[in-house]
Amino acid sequence: MTPTLKDVAELAGVSPSAVSRTFTEGASVSERMRRKVELAAQKLGYSPNALASSLTTGRTRLVGLVSNNFQNPIFLEVFDLFTRTLQERGLQPLIVNLSDEVEPENSLLMLRQYSVDAVVVASSTLPTSFASAFNDSDIPVVHTFGRFDSFPKVHVVGIDNIECGRMAAKTLIAREYKSIAYLDGPEGSTSAQDRHRGFMEEVVLHPAIKARARYSAGYSFEAGRIIMLEELSEKPAEAYFCGDDILSIGALSAMHTHGLKPSKDIGIIGLNDMQMSGWQSFDLTTIRQPVKKIIKASVDLVEEILLEPNKEPEALIFPCELVERGTLRKE
């Protein structure tokens, strides 16, 4: 038989209300009382009812975790880290798969129905207005991997994609590639726009360098493979910056089909440094974004805004670094 709050009270020798206060966040209870109740609960195997607790505190401890990029392997790593980190803090993630949606109305309606305490929008491709819609509806929000802004309307945690584009172009030019290209996902993606801007801003400083940009249908292995096959059917560049590692791996597959070797025949640099990028079969040179730090900072912010809902929005931007492997010629 499942132990009840009353059972715990009887074993601890306290009132049921004392047990309720012990398991209610922020309620006043002495340390001696807390120890007695927790010991009794442990002996009985009692767990407080989260729903009942939410009715008392007005908090569900639910955090909406919204994304639109589930086909990308990097997000398996991202959501593993997010769900574990939230749960370690006593918060419960409620995952929302946007698929092809770019408007927030359906997500907003669903998350309101579940009375989430906060929302994390984990996407580098959605416009800032998507996350702002939650904020405008009085739901605290953190936009992880969101677009950098010196004066953000919502809390943003991520990287400066303009700087990443610039870093990639500098790297390719330093390796003495004379013809370079930028390949990325959909042109409407905010992160793709920013990386393109940084890439081209660096290129114009080097008049002898030829550069172009091309966009794919999405962020997937197949999209990367298709766009590189198209490049190889024409006159390919000497080296490519792919705006995501999964695009890079698709591009490497297309090169293999044509009997071309990375570094020797065509250079490739990616972005993210997802786990499989380091596999021997890919050995991808890439730009690493510090995913673990970004996710920890995002969950820290969630906890802060739950305590201080009117906290002024801030942008926490983490630097990226080049990870040298085997798909570019050496300096």
What is the pLDDT, as a whole number, of residue 112?
84
What is the block-wise mean pLDDT of the chain (331 residues), using blocks of 10 residues?
78 84 72 88 73 56 87 86 92 83 79 88 85 88 91 93 98 98 94 97 98 94 97 96 97 98 97 95 97 96 91 94 96 81
What is the pLDDT, as a whole number, of residue 45?
79
What is the distance between the alpha carbons of residues 254 and 268, in angstroms, rounded to a whole number? 12
What is the distance between the alpha carbons of residues 254 and 242, in angstroms, rounded to a whole number? 13
Tokens of 205: 């400083």
Instruction: Report helix angle 105-113 to 128-136, nearest 10.
Output: 40
Q: Please report how many Cα atoms fall inside a 13 Å half-sphere around the Cα of residue 105, on the Cβ side.
A: 1
What is the pLDDT, as a whole number, of residue 48?
65
- Contact at 8 Å (CB) between 167 and 201? no
Nearest CA-CA partner of 212 in 185, 180, 167: 180
Nearest CA-CA partner of 289 in 75, 66, 95: 75
CATH code for residues 5-57: 1.10.260.40
Q: Could you state, in order of their start, the residue ranges of all structural domains in the chain?
A: 5-57, 62-159+290-318, 161-289
DSSP letter for each residue of 171-227: HHHHTT-SEEEEEES-TT-HHHHHHHHHHHHHHTT-TT-EEEEEE-SSSSHHHHHHH
Nearest CA-CA partner of 269 in 186, 183, 327, 185: 327
The second-level CATH assignment, the architecture, of 62-159+290-318 is 3-Layer(aba) Sandwich (3.40)
What is the pLDDT, as a whole number, of residue 38?
87
Which SS3 state, helix, strand or coil, does residue 268 take?
strand
The second-level CATH assignment, the architecture, of 161-289 is 3-Layer(aba) Sandwich (3.40)
Tokens of 283: 């050995």
Pair type for strands 267-272 and 239-242: parallel
DSSP letter for each residue of 105-169: HHHHHHHHHTT-SEEEEE-SSS-HHHHHHHHHTT--EEEETPPP-SS-SSEEEE--HHHHHHHHH
Matching CATH topology for 5-57 and 62-159+290-318? no
CA 231 to chain centre: 30
